[in-house]
Amino acid sequence: MDQENKKQLASEWFRELRDNFCSQFETIDGEKFVRNKWSHSGEGGGEMSVMKGSVFEKVGVNISTVNGRFKEEFRENVSGTENSPNYWASGISIVAHMHSPYIPAFHFNTRFIATDEQWFGGGADLTPTIINDDDVEEFHNTFRDACNNHDKSYYQNFRKQCEEYFFLPHRNEERGKGGIFFDHMNTGDWKKDFEFVKEVGMAFLKVVPSIIKKRKDIGWDENEKNLQLLKRGRYVEFNLLWDRGTQFGLKTGGNTEAILMSMPPEAKWD
Amino acid sequence: MDQENKKQLASEWFRELRDNFCSQFETIDGEKFVRNKWSHSGEGGGEMSVMKGSVFEKVGVNISTVNGRFKEEFRENVSGTENSPNYWASGISIVAHMHSPYIPAFHFNTRFIATDEQWFGGGADLTPTIINDDDVEEFHNTFRDACNNHDKSYYQNFRKQCEEYFFLPHRNEERGKGGIFFDHMNTGDWKKDFEFVKEVGMAFLKVVPSIIKKRKDIGWDENEKNLQLLKRGRYVEFNLLWDRGTQFGLKTGGNTEAILMSMPPEAKWD
């Protein structure tokens, strides 16, 4: 398959998945997403969909397809840019901050990157405040199954990468309760890798509504809400201090509003 | 004057100033500071004083006197470490987040650093939500006067450095309404530099209570409070993404609680 074909298939899938997520989340919430288009400082652009509802305190679903030329200072950090600074990237990102401290915050991302090399990356993880082991298990089981359908080594490997990535060294704390994280995936069989990436998206589309539906009618008190706001403070610390995507995006002319869509609507510090 | 003498005079001054600030702020607020000592991963340590009151939503006053050896990766960024990785540092930091959106957030820091070189650094700035030009002017005039008592070139120079430093490139926004910022101050006359640093502390001790007293009885509505919480979101972004002291402190074994004392008690994002 030629490169242009792959780019088209990947970016179309991310858009289709976006439509599915927005539709599912609107059904759960009753509120509607507000959509904004933005254009990239290189070429291309994205669409940011945000809903502030009665179940979702704030959920953002962002897709983008951009291309450009990396500045010299960034090339050393990106594979396949030794001979050419050109890049193309398409992806989908979701961050959901819920009203209820009984429902975890959810994060999901998948992307396809092409320089002189090409690869998929992505992952999904959950950040509960009041930890319900059943939910954590359901989340992990869903991604274990999705992984196992493709390669028996994936789940342990990607789970470990997730644990290592979503960690706050300055607090010696994990951000959440894990999930999966993978990067530079290129097995040499593009179709196979693409099928896996699609399955990760479908897994998230299945497990998030399932957990929300189980927990959304539980009431909470001010003290529990406060714990959630403090947990979100840690979430902010991770994203601004340690998240490579955030740092990289803000320093390569990415769209600030889209990148910082991950910020919670409200957070507290002790 | 020998080096040990300078270190002692500087650290004693920072402690004395801390006591003055805490006492002044307690008088304004009616609440009391809670004090916690911490020790450094190298040697030395600090004392963190935090008050959550009726005027001050959260104010932190931190002093520390530490020494250690810089890791190789940090030496290139610090003057006077070419031949030795040893450093000694003492300083005072204040961050005040107010309940009222009519009172600016205030920030102040002065420090004395010794490697094979030695210098003072510091500054003071204000971050209003609802901007009152009189307050901004009073703040700047106070520091202009303090600067002019020592060197006629200081104020313009340090004001400009403050503007350049407290800027959010990813938002193309300034953090606040300026103040002064200086670093690597060593004119060759230690006593003179120390006198200036003391005067900057005294200026902050004078102007902050003055502005607070003028504004503390003005009422505010939910909408105005909300604007303040959004402004604090930007404050968080600056401190975690761009503040060199925060990044440096968290990566050199600094005390996380003391460094992140600057975080507001509550913040919002759109």
Q: Which of A240, A265, A266 sits opposite B240 (nearest CB)?
A: A240
Q: Chain B contacts of A247, Cβ < 8 Å?
A: 241
Task: Report the share of chain B in percent with pLDDT over 70.
Answer: 100
How many alpha carbons fall within 13 Å on the CB side of residue A51?
24
In the predicted model, what is the mean pLDDT of residues A236-240? 97
3-state SS class at A99: coil
In degrees and rounded to multiples of 5, residue A183 shows phi and psi of -150, 160
Q: What is the pLDDT of residue B73?
A: 76
Q: What are phi and psi of A237, to 5 degrees?
A: -60, -45
- Nearest-Cα distance to chain A for B18, in Å, is 21
Question: Within 13 Å, how many C-alpha atoms sit on residue B160's CB side?
Answer: 5
Burial degree of A132 (CB within 10 A; 0-12, 13-18, 19+)? middle
- Residue A204 backbone phi and psi in degrees, to 5: -65, -40
Asked whether residue B249 carries a pLDDT value surpassing 90, the answer given is no
Percent of chain B exceeding pLDDT 90 equals: 86
- pLDDT tier at B118, thresholds 50, 70, 90: very high
Mean pLDDT comparison of B29-43, B59-73, B148-162, highest-scoring range: B148-162
Look at residue A101 in the predicted model and tell me its pLDDT: 98
- Whole-angstrom CA distances from B34 to A41, A268, B1, B50 are 48, 19, 36, 5
Nearest CA to B198 out of B217, B216, B185 is that of B185
Contacts of A60 in chain B (CB under 8 A): none
Q: How many residue pairs bridge chain A and chain B with CB atoms within 8 Å of each other? A: 54
Summarize the confidence of residues B20-49 as an average pLDDT: 95
Question: Is the alpha carbon torsion for B259, B264, B265, B267 positive or negative?
Answer: negative
Bridge partners of B59? B51, B96
pLDDT reported for residue A152: 97
- Residue B75 has what pLDDT? 78
Question: Is residue B251 predicted with pLDDT exceeding 90?
Answer: no
Q: According to the model, what pLDDT value does residue A80 have?
A: 86
Spatial CA neighbour of B48 closest among B98, B110, B91, B103: B91
Q: Which residues of A touch B266 (CB under 8 A)?
A: 229, 266-269
Residue range B81-88: mean pLDDT, rounded: 87
Residue A253 predicted with pLDDT over 80: no
Residues facing residue B113 across a β-bridge? B89, B119
Q: What is the ipTM of this complex?
A: 0.94
CA–CA separation, A201 and B268 (whole Å): 29
| A49 CA: distance to closest CA in chain B (Å) | 13
Are B170 and A267 in contact (CB < 8 Å)? Answer: no
pLDDT band at B253 (very low <50, low <70, confident <90, very high): confident
Over residues A4-14, the pLDDT tens digits come to 999 999 999 99
- Count CB-CB contacts under 10 A for residue A32: 12
Mean pLDDT computed over every residue of chain B = 95
* Overall average pLDDT of the A134-157 stretch: 98
A250 vs B contacts (CB less than 8 Å): 169-170, 241
* pLDDT number for residue A74: 74
pLDDT tens for B199-223 read: 999 999 999 999 999 999 999 999 9
Residues B265, A266: C-beta atoms closer than 8 Å: no
Left if phi > 0, otherwise alpha if psi is -120 to 50, otherwise beta: which for A212?
Answer: alpha
Nearest C-alpha of chain B: how many angstroms from A149?
A: 39
Inspect the interface and report whether the beta carbons of A266 and B237 lie closer than 8 Å: no
Probe site for chain A from B241, B252, B261, B262 (most A CB atoms < 10 A): B241
The residue assigned the tokens 């004057």 is B1
What is the rounded average pLDDT for all residues in chain A? Answer: 95
- What average pLDDT does range B238-259 have in this prediction? 89
By Cβ distance, the residue of A247, A263, A268 closest to B269 is A263
Task: Tell if the CB–CB gap between B269 and A250 is shorter than 8 Å.
Answer: no
Domain architecture of chain A: domains with CATH:
3-262 (3.40.1500.10)
**Nearest Cα to A258, choosing from B43, B86, B270, B18?**
B270
B60-81 per-position pLDDT tens digit:
999 999 998 888 777 777 888 8
Residues of chain B in contact with residue A268, where contact means CB-CB under 8 angstroms, are 265-267
pLDDT at residue B69, as a whole number: 86
- The pLDDT assigned to A40 comes to 83
| B75 residue type, one letter | R
- Examine the pLDDT at B114 and tell me if it is beyond 80: yes
pLDDT in tens, A216-230: 999 999 999 999 999
User: Strand, helix or coil at B244?
Assistant: helix
Mean pLDDT of A175-186: 97
Best to test chain B binding among A227, A255, A269 (most B CBs inside 10 Å): A269
Residue B226 pLDDT > 80, yes or no?
Answer: yes
For residue A267, the chain B residues in CB contact (below 8 A) are 236, 266-268
Judge whether residue A69 has pLDDT over 90: no
Q: Which residue has the higher pLDDT, B47 or B250?
A: B47
pTM beyond 0.90: yes
**Predicted local distance difference test score (pLDDT) of residue A77:** 77
Chain A residues interacting with chain B (CB cutoff of 8 angstroms):
169-171, 229, 233, 236-237, 240-241, 247, 250, 256, 259-260, 263-269
Catalytic residues of B: 107
The shortest C-alpha distance from B69 to chain A (Å) reads 19
Q: Of A40, A97, A99, A107, which residue is the catalytic one?
A: A107
Question: Tens digit of pLDDT for each residue in A97-141?
Answer: 999 999 999 999 999 999 999 999 999 999 999 999 999 999 999
Considering only the beta carbons, identify the residue of B170, B250, B265 that sits closest to A241.
B250
Kindly list the residues from chain A whose CB atom is less than 8 angstroms away from the CB atom of residue B256.
170-171
Mean pLDDT, to the nearest integer, of A15-42?
Answer: 95
